[in-house]
């Protein structure tokens, strides 16, 4: 059973759970499931906890997953440069692009001039997933229509009128992630620099801010993300569509076979004129990944270091070959053994007679065939570091990968001496057909890849990211702060792969405006052929961060 599923197994039997499910056969559902969104064999469902085990054990189910948190890829800008223009640029256009832009993020300032043409909003819909339920088909959140937004824009207090403030979590006026990303992808040039898709209609999913592990950038989860993709594709109808997701964490297997990633591939391969663009992540220097090869009876020690006075939960995932068997010993900073595990047995981690965590060990996860160890530590931890010791009981392959999950409120790390910076792409960007983008410094003639921009390859050796785009101090639309009643002519700068991805998404929209029926293979080929080759004589590993190279908009044909 999925480790996260085990965590939610017990509780109120009447509580409704949201899950992702992969069926053995399309349209052949187990009992007691309410289907919410559907992508071939993969569906999101709602069910009561009392039915969880029967659904899991059904012969109709190949894989059942609990929600996993999907945070925004944090922008890496310690001192954002925010300013207000005295006068906005004139934007007069009645043209509406034939391509729709979809975005899953948080904080969309519909009152910003960059998303208003001739006094009318360019948003077709905004689904605020964390808002009060309005009776929509998904069973949660509120869907805001274009007519409601246009009515609110006429009001002196549009956020109050609409009941949606995009910057409610922005106390310091630095601007929300979603508005900044949106401005790069399809801003009309009224305030921020004009994008390559200034007339695209917008369908947005605001996943909301859930204060998880000390971070107000932790958004929704994998189930809500799939529902968001379903919502966007349904609203777009048969029109060409580009979706941007600058989201993801550290963990999971990096084979591109999470159910969320399989949904991404399903959408772009079953829908013509469609692409999904993702940021690679900002985790190259996170010290959150290591890997190696273990031999029979060998013991490998992995030091896991915690922040002082950390009271947030911490999580490590270990993935290894399905034909191998490893056991785990866990030692505290005094070399006292906390756990001596039995392979494929779930066991509590106890320190000084107090339960401080759990070790979950799964045999042959059904989507990858890999074995999986999850070590979950609660907020009672009072240690500087632990030592995780892997022991090779049966070894045919030997390769293992370890990831520490993202924790913005108290990030734990591996001992730097054992860190490996490859294979650090974000947790949901490793699918076969998504377009994944890293970031470089466009202000430097040498065009260095930014130090934080994550590295490939995927765990099965594929190229991710596939290209790099400008990501350093990018000026774009700035949303209203929590103290403001509507947007001013404000822009701000942010750095990160989150800024590089929408730049590429904008170019893909430009491609589809001229060739709306391209399939995803042709879109990728056209995009990658427009890259300037990167050369790294001093560090050949940099190619794993550059992919096909630097996107050159002048080479788009």
Taking the CA atoms of residue 506, residue 510, residue 516 and residue 519 in that order, the dihedral angle to the nearest 10 degrees is -60
- Rounded to a whole number of angstroms, the distance between the first and last alpha carbons of the chain is 48
> Is the C-alpha dihedral spanning 352, 355, 361, 367 positive or negative?
negative
- 331 by DSSP, 3-state: which? strand
**Residue 180 is among the residues annotated as catalytic for this protein:** no
Helix (H, G, I), strand (E, B) or coil at 142: strand
Residues 6+ apart with CB under 8 A from 167: 107, 109, 175, 176, 179, 479, 480, 481, 482, 484
| Residue 91 per-residue DSSP state | -
- 11's CB contacts (< 8 A; 6+ apart) are 49
Beta-sheet pairing, 385-394 with 399-404 = unpaired
Closest alpha carbon to 42 in 229, 201, 184: 229
**In 298-454, beta strands by DSSP E:** 299-305, 314-320, 325-331, 337-340, 347-351, 354-362, 371-377, 385-394, 399-404, 413-414, 435-440
Per the annotation, the verdict on 361 as an active-site residue is no
Find the catalytic residue in 74, 105, 170, 252: 105
Residues β-bridged to residue 168: none
Catalytic residue, chosen from 215, 222, 412, 498, is: 498
CA distances from 128 to 159, 235, 346 (A): 13, 15, 37
Distance of CA 473 to the CA centre of its chain: 21
Q: Exactly one of 177, 253, 361, 423 is catalytic; name it.
A: 177
105 is catalytic: yes
Active site residues: 105, 177, 498
């Amino acid at each position: 059973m999925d480790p996260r599923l085990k965590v939610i197994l017990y509780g109120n039997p009447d509580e409704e759970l949201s899950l992702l499910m992969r069926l053995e056969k399309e349209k052949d559902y187990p009992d007691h499931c309410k289907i919410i969104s559907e992508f071939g064999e993969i569906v999101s469902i709602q069910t009561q906890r009392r039915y969880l085990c029967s659904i899991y054990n059904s012969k109709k189910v190949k894989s059942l997953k609990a929600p996993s948190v999907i945070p925004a890829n944090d922008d890496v800008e310690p001192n954002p440069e925010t300013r207000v223009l005295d006068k906005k640029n004139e934007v007069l256009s009645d043209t509406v692009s034939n391509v729709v832009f979809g975005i899953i993020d948080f904080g969309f300032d519909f009152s910003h001039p960059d998303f208003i043409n001739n006094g009318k909003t360019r948003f077709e819909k905004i689904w605020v997933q964390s808002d009060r339920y309005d009776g929509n088909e998904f069973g949660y959140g509120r869907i805001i229509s274009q007519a409601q937004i246009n009515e609110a824009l006429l009001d002196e207090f549009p956020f109050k009128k609409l009941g949606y403030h995009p910057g409610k979590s922005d106390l310091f006026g630095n601007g929300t992630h979603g508005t900044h990303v949106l401005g790069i992808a399809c801003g009309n040039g009224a305030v921020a620099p004009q994008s390559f898709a200034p007339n695209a209609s917008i369908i947005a999913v605001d996943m909301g801010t859930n204060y998880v592990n000390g971070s107000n950038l932790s958004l929704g989860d994998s189930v809500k993300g799939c529902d968001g993709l379903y919502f966007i594709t349904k609203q777009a109808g048969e029109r060409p569509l580009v979706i941007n997701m600058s989201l993801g964490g550290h963990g999971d297997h990096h084979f591109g076979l999470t159910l969320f990633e399989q949904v991404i591939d399903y959408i772009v391969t079953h829908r013509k004129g469609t692409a999904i663009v993702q940021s690679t992540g900002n985790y190259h220097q996170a010290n959150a990944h290591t890997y190696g090869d273990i031999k029979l009876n060998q013991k490998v020690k992995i030091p896991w270091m915690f922040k002082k006075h950390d009271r947030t939960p911490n999580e490590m995932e270990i993935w290894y070959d399905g034909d191998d068997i490893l056991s785990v010993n866990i030692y505290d900073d005094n070399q006292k053994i906390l756990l001596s595990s039995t392979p494929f047995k779930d066991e509590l981690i106890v320190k000084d007679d107090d339960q401080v965590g759990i070790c979950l060990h799964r045999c042959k996860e059904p989507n990858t065939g890999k074995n999986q160890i999850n070590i979950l530590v609660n907020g009672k931890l009072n240690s500087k570091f632990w030592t995780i010791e892997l022991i090779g009981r049966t070894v045919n392959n030997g390769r293992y990968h370890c990831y520490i999950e993202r924790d913005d409120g108290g990030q734990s790390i591996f001992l730097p001496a054992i860190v490996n910076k490859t294979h650090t792409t974000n947790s949901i960007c490793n699918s076969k057909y998504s377009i994944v983008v890293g970031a470089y410094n466009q202000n430097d003639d040498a065009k260095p890849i930014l130090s934080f921009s994550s590295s490939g390859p995927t765990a099965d050796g594929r190229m991710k990211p596939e290209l790099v785009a400008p990501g350093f101090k990018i000026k774009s639309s700035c949303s209203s702060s929590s103290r403001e009643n509507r947007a001013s002519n404000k822009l701000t700068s942010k750095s990160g792969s989150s800024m590089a991805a929408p730049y590429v998404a904008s170019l893909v929209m430009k491609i589809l405006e001229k060739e709306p029926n391209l399939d995803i293979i042709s879109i990728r080929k056209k995009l990658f052929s427009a890259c300037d080759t990167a050369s790294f004589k001093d560090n050949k590993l940099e190619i794993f961060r550059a992919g096909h190279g630097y996107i050159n908009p002048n080479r788009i044909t």
